[in-house]
Amino acid sequence: MGGADTYKKLRGLDPDVRAIIASGYDNEEMAKEFLQMGFCGYLTKPYRVTDLGRILKTVLG
């Protein structure tokens, strides 16, 4: 199961779920699509711990 399918299942369990997608593709169109789907953030692999920390702060407040 990919990230999009997993996210849909999680939304079924909790409509308020916050999720971040990590992809090996650095593609602005793909990132936009995932964000429109409802993901709270997008990381391109490989990413640094500081990148993860930054996006977690953004998503969790």
pTM of the model: 0.82
pLDDT at residue number 21: 94
Half-sphere CA count of 24, side-chain side, radius 13 A: 1
pLDDT at residue number 49: 97
Return left, alpha or beta for 44; rule: phi > 0 is left, psi -120 to 50 is alpha, else beta: beta
- Model confidence band, residue 59 (pLDDT cutoffs 50, 70, 90): very high
pLDDT at residue number 57: 96
**Which CATH entry fits the domain spanning 3-60: 3.30.70.1400, 3.90.79.10, 3.40.50.2300, 2.40.110.10?**
3.40.50.2300
DSSP-assigned letter for residue 38:
T
More confident residue, 35 or 27: 35
Is the pLDDT at 42 greater than 90, yes or no?
yes
